[in-house]
Amino acid sequence: MQQRQLGRSGPSISPLVFGGNVFGWTAGETTSFQLLDRFVERGFNAIDTADVYSSWGPGLAGGESETVIGHWLAKRGRRDDVVLMTKVGMWAPRKGLSAGNIAAAVDDSLKRLRTDYIDVYFAHIDDAEVPLAETLGAFGRLVEAGKVRALGASNYGAERLRDALAVSKAQGLPRYEVVQPQYNLYERASFESALAGVAQEHELGVVSYFSLASGFLTGKYRSADDLKGSAREGFLKGYFDARGLKLLDVLRQVAAEVSATPAQVALAWLIGRPSLTAPIASATSIGQLDDILRAADLSLPAAAVDKLNAASDQ
């Protein structure tokens, strides 16, 4: 399996990251174990989660995804085989990026994950009320203590990320090595307009979330009416505008031309982007997982990429 470096000092990962937001939510523990087993058996190694996953689900409070992953790690004994990413800052009981909150949150996550270190620990969202020096100093102490190997920033704007990198350099603190933006065929502008340039300039790793636009780019749903009663209804409604429907048409055309599924094509497009290290994608069944994993072996012809670029850039 091809490995890609996450930043200058981050770990190496396979070209597709498993999105753990489904664990304990739309995938129960038994199914989650099967999915994780298949993922690593196929040679992939990076798993993304967060303390807040999946607090939005009915009857859930947060911490469920980390707990399921922790049970799997304990039962399978595969900690050294995976690159584990989790996040702090968005979950209500551990909200924000103050030094005290970060110190408490990482210990909570380590207990749920049943490990003594996290490979990449993300600030899940920027916290403008806390000085960057305080946040980065707290993260730096975690690196020094061996609780965290590398740092990441999710949902940061380009200028704020530049400021954070400058603070790390000026104060001799560990820097953010990875950024995690929303990025997919439908949502391109926010990343490509400025953040991608910062990441390339500073040699940061990039792992994208909502890589399949919450399932929109799988082609499973043909209209907003197909979402009624679905667990993803609230996530997907906004994609079914004229631009989104046209993009879906082109995506299906390209998929037919290359004998692949729309999900494979959408992920292969991301895997081929020079600014991206790896996309994050989720699955709730072995069939779905096998489908998306094949994207890592799909090389899109230049003509297909041009079609997708034209349809998604409008």
Q: How confident is the model over 289-296, as a mean pLDDT?
A: 98
Report how far residue 183's alpha carbon sits from residue 166's, in angstroms, rounded to the nearest whole number: 25
Residue 313 resides in a domain: no
Average pLDDT over all residues of the chain: 95
The string of DSSP letters for 99-132 reads: HHHHHHHHHHHHHHHT-S-EEEEEE-S--TTS-H
> Which pLDDT belongs to residue 102?
98
Q: How confident is the model over 111-134, as a mean pLDDT?
A: 98
Give the tens place of pLDDT for each residue, 79-121.
Answer: 999 999 999 999 999 999 999 999 999 999 999 999 999 999 9
Closest CA to 182 of 193, 167, 173: 193
**Would you say residue 130 has pLDDT above 80?**
yes
> Which pLDDT belongs to residue 224?
64
Using a pLDDT cut of 70, give the percent of the chain over it.
Answer: 95
The two structure tokens encoding residue 36: 């994780």
Look at the chain and count its residues: 314
Report how far residue 71's alpha carbon sits from residue 135's, in angstroms, rounded to the nearest whole number: 30
Phi, psi of 160 (to 5 degrees): -65, -35
CB 279 within 8 A of CB 251: no
- Domain residues for the domain of 32 are 4-218+263-298
- Give the pTM: 0.95
> Which pLDDT belongs to residue 16?
98
**Would you say residue 231 has pLDDT above 70?**
no
Q: How confident is the model over 176-193, as a mean pLDDT?
A: 96
Residue 252 resides in a domain: no
Neighbours of 131 (CB within 10 A): 14
> Which pLDDT belongs to residue 223?
66
**Would you say residue 165 has pLDDT above 70?**
yes
Residue 156 resides in a domain: yes
> Which pLDDT belongs to residue 220?
82
Number of domains in the chain: 1
Q: Residue 239: pLDDT band by 50, 70, 90 thresholds? A: confident
Residue 310 resides in a domain: no
Give the tens place of pLDDT for each residue, 186-230.
Answer: 999 999 999 999 999 999 999 999 999 988 999 887 766 666 666
Q: Residue 35: pLDDT band by 50, 70, 90 thresholds? A: very high
Q: Residue 10: pLDDT band by 50, 70, 90 thresholds? A: confident
End-to-end CA distance of the chain: 35
Give the tens place of pLDDT for each residue, 248-257.
Answer: 999 999 999 9
**Would you say residue 236 has pLDDT above 80?**
no
> Which pLDDT belongs to residue 222?
73
Residue located via tokens 């380009």: 158
For 51, residues 6+ apart whose C-beta sits below 8 A from its C-beta are 62, 63, 66, 86, 87, 88, 90, 91, 94, 105, 108, 109, 112
CB 212 within 8 A of CB 248: no
When comparing pLDDT for 245 and 175, which is higher?
Answer: 175
- CATH number of the domain enclosing 32: 3.20.20.100
For 259, residues 6+ apart whose C-beta sits below 8 A from its C-beta are none
Residue 37 resides in a domain: yes
What is the DSSP code (8-state) at residue 8?
Answer: T
**Would you say residue 237 has pLDDT above 80?**
no
Residue 146 resides in a domain: yes
When comparing pLDDT for 224 and 154, which is higher?
Answer: 154
Residue 148 resides in a domain: yes
CB 36 within 8 A of CB 73: no
> Which pLDDT belongs to residue 198?
98
> Which pLDDT belongs to residue 20?
98
Using a pLDDT cut of 90, give the percent of the chain over it.
Answer: 89
> Which pLDDT belongs to residue 240?
84
- Helices 242-257/302-312 angle, 10° precision: 170
Residue 242 resides in a domain: no
**Would you say residue 233 has pLDDT above 70?**
no
**Would you say residue 281 has pLDDT above 90?**
yes
